[in-house]
Each structure stands twice: as C-alpha cells, then as structure tokens.
Chains A and B, each alone.
Chain A
Amino acid sequence: MPTFNDILILLPEFYLVAAACLLLLLDAFMKPAQRPLLHWISIVVLLVAIYLVVAGQPEQAVTAFGGMFVRDDVAEILKVFALGTTAMVFVYARPYLIDRKLLSGEFYTLMIFAVIGIMLLVSAGNLITVYLGLELLSLSSYALVALNRDAKLPPEAAIKYFVLGALASGMLLYGMSMVYGASGMGGTPSLDLAQLHNVMSYTTAPTLLLFGLIFMIVGIGFKLGAAPFHMWIPDVYQGAPTPVTTFIASGSKLAAFGMAYRLLDAGMGDLSHHWQLMLAVLAVLSLAIGNLVAIVQTNLKRMLAYSTISHMGYLLLGLAAAGPEGYAAAMFYAICYALMGVAAFGVMLALTRAGFECEEIADLKGLNQKSPWMAFLMLLAMFSLAGVPPLFGFWAKVLVLEAAIHANMLWLAIVGIVFAIIGLYYYLYVIKVMYFDKPAEGSTLQVQSDKPLRVVLSLNALSLLVLGLYWGPLLGWCRRAFGL
C-alpha cells in the first residue's frame, strides 16, 4: 500500500506527469497564435522539476513502493543533468521548430515523457521499473524521431530505431526473465535488484543466470549505442530532427549510464568478474568502430553519431572497472558527454535556419570569418570531444583511463588512449574547416538571431572550458554519490 511518504519521494516524477498532461490539454485548447507560449511553459516546467529534485534530496538513499524506486545521490545527479540538458535542448530547438512549423504540443509533451522515463530508469530498484522507464523513454523517442513526418529521412530513421529498439527490449526482457527464473531456483524468485545481488551464491541454475546476464548486457549495449549494437545510431542521428538528435545524444546517454549502473552493479554486482570482460570487449569494439568510421564521414550529424559510439566506449572503460571509482568516472564521463553533445549540436541548431539544414561538415566552411564567436564555441566543443586539455572532455578521459588502470586493466587504458589519437583527426578536421578554409562560394551561413539560444549556447560551451579548469567539485559529487 503506497504511503504518503512514497508519493513524496516520487514527487518530481508525479509532478512532471501532471505537467505533461496539462501541457497536452493546453495545446489542444490554445489558439494557434498562442502556441509559442508552450515553449516557455515547458522550460519553466523543467526548471521547477529541477528544483523539486534538488529541494527534496534525501539525506541518504531512500526507497519507495517497496524498493521499486530508489532515490539516492546517483539518481539525483543524473536527474538534474538530464532535466538541465533537456531544458537546453528546448532553448536551442525553438528557432528550428518555428522555421519548420514543428512547434507544437507534441514535441514538448513527448520530450517531457521521455525525461520521466529517464528519471524512472535511473531510479530503478526493480527489474520492472527498469523496463518501465526504458519503454517510456524509448517509445517517446521513436515518436520524436518521426516528428517531422513529411520529410523523407525521419520516418525511415524512426522505423529503424523502433524495430531495432523493440528487438533490444525483447532481449532485455528475455534476459530479465532468465534472471528471475534463476533467482527462483534455490530461493524465492525476485525482481528486486537489491535481492538479485547475491543470487549467484544460492541459485541452482548459474548457467541460466549467466545467460540472463548476457541478454541484459545486449539491452544495455543497445541503449548505450555501444558496438556491435550501434547500428541504429548513425541513421537515427542523421535522420532525426536535430533537436531530437541533441536529446538522444545527451539525456538519453545519462539514462543509459543509469540503467547500466542499476542493472549491473545493484543487480548483478556479484557477477562483476563475468561482465567486466564483456564490457571491456564492447568498449574496445566501440572505440575501434566509432573512431575509425567517423573519419570518413562527411555529414556532421553522422560523424558525431560515430563519435558518440566511441565516447560510449570510454564510458564503458569506467563501467568495466566495476567499482565505485569506475562508476564515478563513468558518471562523470556521461555528464561530460551530455554537455559536449548538447553544445556541438547546439551550434548546428544555431546555424540552421528556414530552408537550410546545417549538417554537412562542409557547411561550416569559413565559419570563423562569418561568426568568430560561433566558431570559437564549436572549437571548444570539438577540442573537448577530442579530449585535449584544458577542456572538460580531457579530464573525463583521464578519469576513465585511471579507473581502468586502477582495476588492473592497463591494456584497456592503452587501447583507449591509442584510439583517442585516431579520433583526434576528425575533430581537428571540423576545426580546420571552420578556421582554415575560406567560405564556400555563395555561402549564406548565418547565425540565428534568437537571443536565448545564443546566451545559453555560449554558457554551455564556455562551461566546457570552466569545468575543464575546475572540475574538482563535480568529481567530488560523483565520488560522494558512490560513497567515496
């Protein structure tokens, strides 16, 4: 029986559900001329949600609904950044949506539902909650990808995403059922992650449990976009409207980290010596495929898609280290990647306007001549993605490498660093195009005049520099969340 306390613990989530429903109603009854107001209302909704998350932060980890839902520091940090980056996506998306006549209630409601999915996922204390959160996030994302349904690419991307996503969900569910079954052999069957933690010690079907684990890792790999489960990433990134891509590259990655952490550490922590190597293999494959294929891309969105795959490889280095140090490093990496991804796509959104999609790398030619400030912001994002000090991305890489070395996986760290050198090339290439090339003949590159977009994007990109110079507090939070 849910108590009042349970509801209080889930207050931000309940509030967001109510707000999303309200937005949907507002959208239906609003005059078309008032529609743009929805934008501001949605941003306020998210900001209030951040406030509720922060204000209601419990002293120590608490659970609600009989352990279905966990509210601890890990969840709090991930939620704040997921909500924050989504609010940034809203700000960046406005001119794009107006130009393409997509500014409507669906976009905002679906995004907010996706965020609710993320919040459930990172707070999951039970296999069912994991699945619930994942499906809420995924289904909203599928619809968001197809938002611009009259264009050619989005529906194709959405269907691809949906089919592959459904397959992965199936795998995950299948794995969960095996784990559930294994927990019932020799004990009471349980879906609770905390109880699943030591199934290995008593189950009479360890093989079944391991099979379940493998299937679950497939699901996690898919959600992260780690090779060899990365096939959907390039097409979805390229095909989806850029704001949606931005969301998938930021909030979604935080969710994927949260899911991996909950399932692997809380649920399957006892089996860590089994999944460590699996994650290491995924990491190496992601690093290799992501970095090598990104080199030949000419489409910026696709290039960033492959770059995401490689970044997930780095995140996996931290996860594979399997310990509080590693998780803290991986969470730091996920947050860092979310900020970098939002900034890089944000610049693309700032350069996109009615009738012109800025998505080829060549579109950025001579940006330094047209708009030195935008070029500088993109430069920060690119050097950060490449992991060049003193930018934020460098420290995130250092942390995961340290975690891997700490976990006696020196070889993995060396693989990681070698691919960082290879990856360097395509980020430098973008900077080369912006700074060293002359603008193309008849280039009409211009920056959106939307004030909020410019201000928030500037702060976003500069945060990569500021956090690069002073990343101690953030690391401190991440480490405290894992009890270090």
Chain B
Amino acid sequence: MFNHLLSLLIWLPVAGAIPVLLAGSARPNLARWLSLLVAVLTFVVSLFLLVQYHPDAGGMQLTESYLWIASWGVHYGLAVDGISVALILMTSFVGILVIAGAWEVIQDKPHQYMAAMLMLEGLLIGVFCATDALLFYALFEAILIPMFILIGIWGGPRRVYATLKFFIYTFFGSVFMLIALLYLYQKAHTFDLATLAALPLTMKEQSWIFFAFLIAFAIKVPMVPVHTWLPDAHVEAPTGGSVVLAAVMLKVGTYGMLRFILPIVPDAGAHYAWLIIVMSLIAIVYIGYVALVQEDMKKLVAYSSVAHMGFVTLGIFIAFLLVRESGNTDMALLGMQGAMVQMISHGFVSGAMFTCIGVMYDRTHTRQIKDYGGVINVMPWFGFFYVLFAMANCGLPGTSGFVGEFMVILASFAANPWIALFAAFTLIIGAAYTLWLVKRVLWGEITNPHVAEMKEINGRETFVLVAFAASVLALGIWPQPLVHLMDSSVSQLVQQLAIHKI
C-alpha cells in the first residue's frame, strides 16, 4: 500500500464516486453514507503521508513512475514534497467537511452531488502530486468538469452564467500553458518536471513561457485583473462548491506557480517579479476596498479571498526580489514560508467563512447582508464560531490568518519598506470589512422577522464548524509542525531561485 500511497489517494475518491452514483436518487441516504465513508477513508489514508514522508530528508518522496504513453515518453509520475503533503492533507480534510456540510442541504439528486465532490477531491489531490507536466495539465483541466456540474446544477439563480463564465475563463488561461508545455517538449523531449527545470532557456523564450504560465495560474489564483470570474462563481455555487473552490482550487494556481514558474523560468520570473508584486498589492489594497462595499456576504468573502491570495503571490515573488537583488536568502525563506502558511490558513478560514454563510443561507435563503442583523440573539453558538472565523479572516494573532500574513509582511519589509507598507494595509482594510460584516449580520436588534425564526446550529453543522475552528486555532497557536513539514521543500525552492538558466 505504501508503494502506491499517492495513487491510492487519487483513485480512492474517484473510484468511490462510482458506487455513490450507482446508489441513485432512490437511495439518497445510502449515497450520503457511502460518500462520507469514502471521504473519511481518503483522509485516513492521507494521514499515512505524515508517517511516510520525512520532512528532514527533503526532496520529492514517495515517488511513483510508470510509462504512460511510450511513444511520447509521458510518465504517470507522482511524488510529494512537504508543500504537497500539506495541501493534500488539507484537501482530504476539507473533503469530509463539505460532504458532511451538504448532508440534508442538497435534496436534489444528492448522489450526483456527492459523486462530483469525490471526483473533484481525487483530481485535486492528483494535481498536488503530479510530477509530469502533461499529467498535471490533464488533471488541472479535468477539475473543471465536476466543478462546472456542481455550480450548474446546485447553484443559485444565475448559476448558468456563472458556471459557463468560470469554465471558459479558466480554460482560456490554461490553453496557453499547454502551448508552452508543447514548446518545452520540443526542446526537452519529455514532460518530466525535474528535467524541464534543468533545461536551459534564453530570456526571450523564458519570457514567453512565463507569460503563458502566468495567464493560466493567475486566472486560477485569481489575481487582479483576471479575478472577475471568482465572485460570480462563488456567489452562485452551492456552499460545498464555494468551500472547495476557495479552500483548495485557488491553491492550485499558486501551487502551479511553485512547480512551473519558479523552476522552469526563474530568470523571467525574477525579471517580472515587480509585475506580480504590483498585481498582488493591488489585490490586497484595492480588492480589500471592493470587499468593503459588497452587499452580498458571499461576494464579500470572495473578494476577501482574492485579497488574501494576494499575500501568497506576494510572498512567492518577494522571495525572487530578495534572492536575486540582495541575496537575502533568510528573508526570502521567511516570505516563501509565509506564503505557504497563508495558503493553508486561507484554505481553512475561507472554507469556514463560506460554511458559515451556507448555514445562514439554508435557514433564510438570502445572502444579502441587509436581510440579517441580530443573528447572535437566536444563534449564540453559531455566532461564537462566526466571530472566531471573522477574526481569523482579518488576521488576529492567535489565529492562522495572522501567521502567514505577518511572515510575508516581514519579508517584504526587508525587500522594500514601501511594499510592506501597502501590504500592511490589509490589517486595517481586512479588519474593516470583516468586522463591519460581523456587526451588520450578528450584532444589533433583530429587525427582520425571518431572522427571529432561525434555529441554532444542529449537531452536524456544529461538527463541521468545530473541525474548522480547531484547525484555524491549531495553526494559529502552534504553526511549528506545519512550518517544519514544509521547511526543507521551501528552502529547496528558494535555492532554486538563485540558479540562472540562461
């Protein structure tokens, strides 16, 4: 089993989706329990990663490689480093929570919903461990299919528009990456990422390839100005869809940057680092202001996701600046680590925020902030969790949101105090939009009659929220295990930054 641990992790949920589908609409409960079983099993198997992966050894471990397409030399190649392990654990953990979260909420064809979720989970895990560029690309694109169905069938009123926009937008970005990969294949005659990383490329080639990769990943992250699909997709997606989208799918974009842009085109990456940094700062500051004026709760959190992902891209590219211009490897390491922690933390925080909104939406069927007010009076326990996640969202020390942002800000201060200044704006803006949201939704008198009828969270919802809360607090109070898990991989990435390929 340990020889094929990664394959098992990918194929268990994908294959598990088949019996769930077969359970059919006639036996919804069977489908629910089966899918929960598969999700829990996947999580348990993913825990073995912690045992099998040795953080101190570094490098890619648990390698599996089989010749897939002989005449092209394409391999079914899987391996993980610390970053992948952390992301896979988060994916399988969130996988359980979205299935538990959708339990009786999804009444229409629950078997199809659960099956799509499981497939999505398997494919996402696959993306995080693929070491062959073509395999990565295939999985990266295949994710769109279950997500397209999830938003389209179980989404809100404008779901068709949102899901088509989501699909075509993200597809648009990735096809240029495909061209870049095919170009690289012409030069290297392989899609193996490690070989591509060692391939010498001229600056002109690197620049073109850099932009091809950037379009693909920037749309996925999403970075300003290609973020416009995200608010639509989030608002219309069912709760589970939003959670997976925010918690895991956005990370595919930044993960892709780490695996493709950093090793394959480091010189172009360094040359255009300023561009990404500016884009990240715009995301942090401008999108923060945009979030401030939203009237839809989901949209607000969606925009705050864009702003938070700005920290991840900032952390990654500030490392470029630090390594290439001042040779400050320590600070670069800090920035990169901060970006990684932020990635994981944002997964939990945004997932939790969307779950909270889902809980309220299931009771009132509205996401407008003005339709709420005084929720704390009828749902005190829910209010407790909501405030906790809101605090994490604005980066309160002690929660996971603080750790990553703080590390990135420190690193950017070493690069350029101005960058740090703009990045630090998030502490104010983030607090502003989140606290104002809490104030308008939770506090105050009950002004809307349907708020008075809202029922306190049930056991299932409590379980989901407690699980999220535990992870948010654990990462915030004791991030050391996570940092240690990723440490060797991150320092390897930083060392790669210094290598010139021209």
Contacts and interface: CB of A to CB of B under 8 A. Distances in A.
7 contacts: A388-B145, A420-B175, A421-B171, A424-B171, A425-B164, A432-B160, A471-B69
A432 B182 contact: no
Contacts of A459: none
A389 interface: yes
User: Which size bracket describes the interface of B in this complex?
Assistant: 35 or more
A435 interface: yes
A470 B171 CA distance: 23
Interface string A431-444: 11001100000000
Interface of A: 368, 372, 383, 388-390, 394, 398, 401-402, 405-406, 410, 413-414, 417-418, 420-421, 424-425, 428-429, 431-432, 435-436, 470-472, 475-476, 479, 484
B152 A372 contact: no
A410 B71 CA distance: 22
Interface in B104-162: 109, 112, 134, 137-139, 141-142, 144-145, 148-149, 152-153, 159-160
A417 B153 contact: no
A417 B179 contact: yes
Contact of B141 (A389, A425, A436, A472): A389
B167 A428 contact: yes
B361 interface: no
A413 B137 CA distance: 17
B72 interface: yes
Of the candidates B69, B176, B186, the one having the most CB atoms from chain A within 10 angstroms of its own CB is B69
B425 interface: no
A405 B186 contact: yes
Contacts of A368: 109, 112, 153
B102 to A, nearest CB: 18
Among B139, B164, B176, chain A packs the most CB atoms within 10 A around the CB of B164
B186 A389 contact: no
B168 A424 contact: yes
B153 A388 contact: no
A372 B112 contact: yes
A383 B148 CA distance: 12
Contacts of A479: 71
Given A394-B138, A472-B71, A424 B179 contact: no
Contact of B149 (A405, A406, A435): A435
Contact of B164 (A390, A418, A432, A484): A432
B179 A405 contact: yes
Contacts of B167: 424, 428
Contacts of A389: 137-139, 141-142
A464 to B, nearest CB: 13
A436 B236 CA distance: 13
Given A420-B175, A421-B171, A425-B168, A472 B68 contact: yes
Nearest to B72: A475
B172 interface: yes
A417 B176 contact: yes
Contact of B185 (A402, A414, A420): A402
Given A472-B70, A484-B71, A428 B175 contact: no
A432 B155 CA distance: 13
The residue among B70, B145, B182 with the most chain A CB atoms within 10 A of its own CB is B182
DSSP majority for the A interface? Answer: helix
A414 B141 contact: no
Interface in B154-196: 159-160, 163-164, 167-168, 171-172, 175-176, 178-179, 182-183, 185-186
Contact of B186 (A406, A424, A431, A436): A406
Contact of A432 (B152, B176, B185): B152
Q: What 9 A-B pairs come out closest when comparing CB atoms? A: A389-B138, A472-B69, A436-B152, A417-B175, A389-B141, A402-B182, A421-B172, A389-B142, A390-B142
Contact of B160 (A372, A402, A406, A436): A436
A243 B101 CA distance: 47
Given A417-B175, A421-B171, A394 B182 contact: no
Interface string B199-218: 00000000000000000000
Contacts of B134: 398
B175 A421 contact: yes
Given A405-B183, A421-B172, A432-B164, A475 B69 contact: yes
A211 to B, nearest CB: 35
B138 A390 contact: yes
A432 B168 CA distance: 13
Interface string B54-88: 00000000000000111110000000000000000
Contacts of B168: 421, 424-425, 428
Given A424-B167, A472-B69, A484-B71, A401 B178 contact: yes
Contact of A428 (B138, B141, B148, B178): B148
Contacts of A414: 179
Nearest to A405: B182
Given A389-B141, A413-B182, A436-B152, 13 more contacts: A388-B144, A390-B142, A398-B134, A410-B183, A414-B179, A424-B168, A428-B148, A428-B168, A435-B149, A436-B160, A472-B70, A472-B71, A484-B71
Contacts of A413: 179, 182
A138 B38 CA distance: 54
Nearest to B74: A472
Nearest to A373: B21
Contacts of B185: 402
A255 B154 CA distance: 44
A4 B157 CA distance: 72
Contacts of B164: 425, 428-429, 432
A401 B134 CA distance: 14
A383 B72 CA distance: 23
